[in-house]
Amino acid sequence: MSRSSAPHAAKQRIYQQFARISKALAAPARLELLDLLAQGERSVDALAQTTELSVANASQHLKVLAAARLVESRRDGQRVLYRLGGETVEALWHALQRTAEARLVELDEVARAYLTGRDDFEPIDRAELARRVRAGSVTLIDVRPAEEYEQGHIAGAISVPLDRLAAFQERAPKPRQVVAYCRGPYCVYALQAVAALRKRGIRATRSDAGVSEWRAAGLPVVTGRGADA
């Protein structure tokens, strides 16, 4: 090897380490797993069920993510629980989404096809929502599954999973605006909740920022059961 090529070969080994991250991200299933883990810690079985993967397939994808240090795991009895590898991983996921939104016009097309009603229910601005939550002028509901709410939710939100929305509708104060949020900009739960609430005459809108986006913005996220509807 010549003198000039030796330093370059050493530099290439640096890029090989960067490539470990990009290779780990190069599968839609693994990105979905990261998106779910941004909501909180999950078992392999729970991740497999939500992503409609087999347990074996989900485990294999998680091993790839773990090898790139994007996720970490711990054992809880017979279960293995996974979580994001840290704040930088969550920031990387957000950066990837923002880059795709800025560069890929196709993303908007496929998102519109999936997020039925997105154009009808314009989301409330995050800063404005934060102001209204502080002022107590809205009822903020978290429509994700209860276990996700318990692991982290926007301060002031109450837990109203979709399967409990009908009960909430019966006692929701109609004059007061209800704001629903779920897992972020590509989650349909908030859209479904807003559509159902409006059919009952309840003033409702959605936030396309979930807990992960709220936390990244430095806004308050709390854990525990909190308030139920």
**From edge to edge, which strands make up the β-sheet containing 227-228?**
204-206, 177-181, 138-142, 158-159, 227-228
**DSSP category for residue 185:** T
DSSP code string of 35-58? HHHTT--EEHHHHHHHHT--HHHH
Which residues make Cβ contacts (< 8 Å) with residue 55, sequence separation at least 6?
A: 44, 45, 48
Checking DSSP bridges between strand 79-84 and strand 42-43, what pairing results, if any?
antiparallel
CB proximity list for 130: less than 8 A, separation 6 or greater: 219
Please report, as a single letter, which amino acid is at residue 6: A
Answer whether 151's CB lies under 8 Å from 43's CB.
no
Q: What is the token pair recorded at 152? A: 């982290």
Which residues are CB-neighbours of 144 under 8 A, at least 6 positions away? 39, 161, 182, 183, 187, 189, 210
Whether 182 sits among the annotated catalytic residues: the reply is: yes
Q: Output the six-digit token pair for 16.
A: 């090989």
Choose the catalytic residue: 178, 182, 191, 211: 182
Q: What residues are labeled active site?
A: 182
